Amino acid sequence: MTPVKLYTPKPEKVYFFGTCLVDLFYPEAGLDAIRLLEREGIEVLFPEDQTCCGQPAFTSGYQQEARAVAAAQLSLFPESWPIVVPSGSCGGMMRTHYPQLFAGTELEERANEVARRVYELTEFLVHVCHLKLDDRGTPEKVAMHTSCSARREMGLADTGPALLSQLGKVELVEQARAAECCGFGGTFAVRHPEVSAAMVEDKTAAIVEAGAQRFVTSDCGCMMNIGGRFEQQKAPVQGEHIASYLWRRTS
C-alpha cells in the first residue's frame, strides 16, 4: 500500500528534478512545468549537476549501478525545500525506491530524507499549490493517461484529471481500461518489444474509441510510446505533457 503523503503549505522555493526524457526529448515540458510553478510565486531551483535518477538500472536488476547513479543525486538538494519531478516514474523511483536502495548503507538517512521531499508535479500543483485554472483554449476532447508508477507507486490516479477537470472547455473522456499500462515500462519495451507493441496498440485503440482528439500524460516515456504509435498509425490524435497542456491553455 502506498503510504499517505502529508502535504505542507506552499513553500517559497522548490528544487526541480528535470528527468532524462524531459532533458533529451521534451525540454519544453520541463520549462512549462517551471513556468507553472513560478506563476504560483515559487522560486524554482534547478541543480545543474543532476543526471538520471537510476531507475533504468534499478528495474533491470543492477542494484550496485543504480545505487552509484542515485547517490550522485542525493547531494543536489541540500536545503529542506520540496523536490518537484514532472514524472511519476522518476518520482516513484526517488520516493519509493531510494529508501530501499540505500537501506543499510551510510546514505540511508539521507536517502530517506530526500525521499520524503519528493513530489510528482501534478501532485504538488493540486495538494500543495491548490492550483486554480482559467481555461483560455478552444473546446476539445481529451484522454488522460496516468503512468503505472504515478498510479501505483505514488497513488496519484486522480491529480491529473483533477487539474484537467478545471478547464471549462475541455471534455475529459474516459478510455476503456484506463488503468492499464501503455507498454512502455522503461526497459520493458526494449526487452519485450512484441508484448509492448500489443499493449500500446490496445491503448491507442481505447483512446480513439473514447473520441479523444488529444491525450495528455504526466510521464514522457508514456507520451513517447503512445504518441509514437499514433504517428505510425497516421492517426490525428496528438499527445502532450500535462505541464505544457496546462500552460498553453491558461497563459
Residue 167 is assigned to a structural domain of this protein: yes
Q: Note whether 101 and 77 are same-domain residues.
A: yes
Q: In Å, how far are 40, 117, 135, 207 from 121, measured between CA atoms?
A: 13, 12, 19, 23
Q: Note whether 173 and 117 are same-domain residues.
A: no
Provide the number of structural domains found in the chain.
Answer: 2
Packing angle, helices 108-116 and 63-74, rounded to 10: 70
pLDDT in tens, the chain (251 residues): 445 578 989 999 999 999 999 999 999 999 999 999 999 999 999 999 999 999 999 999 999 999 999 999 999 999 999 999 999 999 999 999 999 999 999 999 999 999 999 999 999 999 999 999 999 999 999 999 999 999 999 999 999 999 999 999 999 999 999 999 999 987 888 888 899 999 999 999 999 999 999 999 999 999 999 999 999 999 999 999 999 999 999 99
What whole-number distance in Å separates Cα of residue 244 and Cα of residue 33? Answer: 7
**pTM to 2 decimal places:** 0.95
Q: Note whether 152 and 68 are same-domain residues.
A: no
User: Would you give the end-to-end CA distance of the chain in angstroms?
Assistant: 38
Domain boundary (71, 103, 127) is at 127
Q: Note whether 121 and 148 are same-domain residues.
A: no
Residue 6 is assigned to a structural domain of this protein: no
Domain that holds residue 171: 140-250
CA atoms within 13 A on the CB side of 114: 30
What CATH number is associated with residue 237? 3.40.50
Q: Note whether 151 and 81 are same-domain residues.
A: no
Residue 3 is assigned to a structural domain of this protein: no
Listed in sequence order, the residues at least 6 apart from 20 whose beta carbon sits closer than 8 Å to its beta carbon are: 51, 52, 53
SS3 content of the chain, % helix, strand, coil (to 5): 50, 10, 40
